[in-house]
Amino acid sequence: MAMSNTASKAGAGALTPTGSVAPDDAWWRKLFAVIDARDAAGFVALLTADAQFRFGNAPTLVGSDAIRTAVSGFFASIASCSHRLIRTWIAPPWVACEGEVTYLRHDGSAVTVPFADVFELRGTLISIYRIYIDNSPLFSQGTGK
C-alpha cells in the first residue's frame, strides 16, 4: 500500500481532546494491510464490538459477528485486493481517507476504483466505518482495467 499527502502528524498514542487516538501512518498501513490480506478476523479486531459498518450502498451492519460474516463473504468473492492511500484527514473523533483499490477477480482480471472511508474512533478502535465506493465494475463482466 502506497501513502502520500498524509495529513496526520500526531503519533498513534497521541490523545485528541475527545479521547480518541489520532492515527499515524503505521495505523493506516496496518488497517489496509489487514484488508489487503483478506483477514476478516483481523479486520473485526480493529473495530469496537458494537461497531457500525457500511460498505457502499449496502445496509449498515452492527456488531462483530454480522460484520465478520459480510466481510468474509466479500473477501471470498475476490482473488485479492490492494489499496493505495492518497490522503487522510483528522477531525477527532472522526478520521477520513481517500484512495484507490485494485481488485483481482477470480478470473485473473483486475479493476481499480476510487474510494473514500470515514471512521469514528473510540480510542484506537473504529466504532463507525463507512466506505464510499462504487464497486459495481468489480462485478461487471469484461470491464477489467
Q: What is the CATH number of the domain that holds 66?
A: 3.10.450.50
> Structurally, how many domains does the chain consist of?
1
The structure's pTM equals: 0.84
The answer to whether position 10 is within a domain reads: no
The answer to whether position 100 is within a domain reads: yes
Residue ranges, the chain, pLDDT below 50: 1-11, 143-145
Domain that residue 126 falls in: 25-139
Neighbours of 39 (CB within 10 A): 16
Per-residue pLDDT, 136: 92
The answer to whether position 102 is within a domain reads: yes
